[in-house]
Amino acid sequence: MVALGVFGPNYPYYSIEISSSTPHWRGLPLLSCLFRASSSSSMEFPPEGYRRNVGICLFNSSGKIFAASRLNRPEIWEMPQGGVNEGEDLKAAARRELTEETGVISAEIVAELPYWLTYDLSPEASIKLSQHWGVRYKGQAQKWFLLKFTGKDEEINLLGDGTERQEFGKWLWMSIEQILELAANSRKPVYAQVMKEFSNFISGNGDDGNALKQNETQLVS
């Protein structure tokens, strides 16, 4: 069982236990509740006890999504993500993390989730990461951004921009189904919700004026 949290300005923090009885989409569990997010809030702060983090869903002109395998666990594939610095703009953080982990600078922000998605860390991971972060967190709260890759594949470099330690060993352009299948179990509920929200944009059916991009009122089902 995995907990998926959703946090928006018009609702209190929700934590949903994902189990085999939860409704599924494309073989993975999804939320069965409605959540509303509004442009009236800057959404700068997630629930207390969670580390602020940005997630980046990068897709190309063929509707494929960037994913990379971790150096320490090559069977696990992830989309780029990383912590937000104190006082840092969330969009700027997303671009910085993308460049640090993939070397990519040729990308346009297409959409943004107007709410935070959270996942909990195991006690062991929380203790281990606290040594790196300097603070022990219950988990991570992520603000997700959808970016369209506008460069050429040669631009992608897993050494990043050289400012951070390399995290990934290989990369591929994947389908939504592949992303969801190869993600770590703890992240599958978050990834499923992200793909549900961004799938129309990735397939070319999204509206650039969509409420997700502008942080206007949005119902999530």
Q: Which residues lie closer than 8 Å to 41 by C-beta, 6 or more apart?
A: 9
Examine residue 34 and state whether it is found in any structural domain, yes or no: no
pLDDT digits (tens, 9 = 90+) for 14-33: 443 444 444 444 444 443 32
pLDDT digits (tens, 9 = 90+) for 118-156: 888 776 776 676 766 667 777 888 999 999 999 999 999
Burial class (CB in 10 A: 0-12, 13-18, 19+), 87: exposed
DSSP 90-107: HHHHHHHHHHHHH----E
pLDDT-derived band at 44, boundaries 50, 70, 90: low
Examine residue 126 and state whether it is found in any structural domain, yes or no: yes
Q: How far apart are CA 8 and CA 200, in angstroms?
A: 22
Examine residue 6 and state whether it is found in any structural domain, yes or no: no
**Which H/E stretch holds residue 15?**
strand 14-18
pLDDT digits (tens, 9 = 90+) for 70-84: 998 999 999 999 999
Q: How far apart are CA 111 and CA 18, in angstroms?
A: 26
What is the pTM (predicted TM-score) of this model?
Answer: 0.75
Examine residue 22 and state whether it is found in any structural domain, yes or no: no
Q: How far apart are CA 70 and CA 52, in angstroms?
A: 21
Query: Domain with 175 in it: what CATH number?
Result: 3.90.79.10
Classify the phi-psi angles of 84: left when phi > 0, otherwise alpha if psi is within -120 to 50, otherwise beta: beta
Examine residue 37 and state whether it is found in any structural domain, yes or no: no
Query: What's the confidence (pLDDT) of residue 11?
Result: 38
Residue type, position 92, single letter: A
Examine residue 221 and state whether it is found in any structural domain, yes or no: no
Query: What's the confidence (pLDDT) of residue 131?
Result: 61
pLDDT-derived band at 40, boundaries 50, 70, 90: very low
Identify the three-state secondary structure at position 114. coil
DSSP 159-216: TTTSSS---EEEEEEE-HHHHHHHS-GGGHHHHHHHHHHHHHHHTT---TT-HHHHT-
In the numeric block, which tokens belong to residue 113?
């989730």
pLDDT at 204 over 90: no
Q: Which residues lie closer than 8 Å to 21 by C-beta, 6 or more apart?
A: none
Identify the three-state secondary structure at position 85. coil
Examine residue 170 and state whether it is found in any structural domain, yes or no: yes
In the numeric block, which tokens belong to residue 197?
């929200």
Burial class (CB in 10 A: 0-12, 13-18, 19+), 42: exposed
The domain tally of the chain equals 1
pLDDT digits (tens, 9 = 90+) for 144-195: 999 999 999 999 999 988 888 899 999 999 999 999 999 998 889 999 999 9
Q: Which domain holds residue 108?
A: 50-204
Examine residue 11 and state whether it is found in any structural domain, yes or no: no
End-to-end alpha carbon distance in the chain: 21
Q: How far apart are CA 51 and CA 166, in angstroms?
A: 21
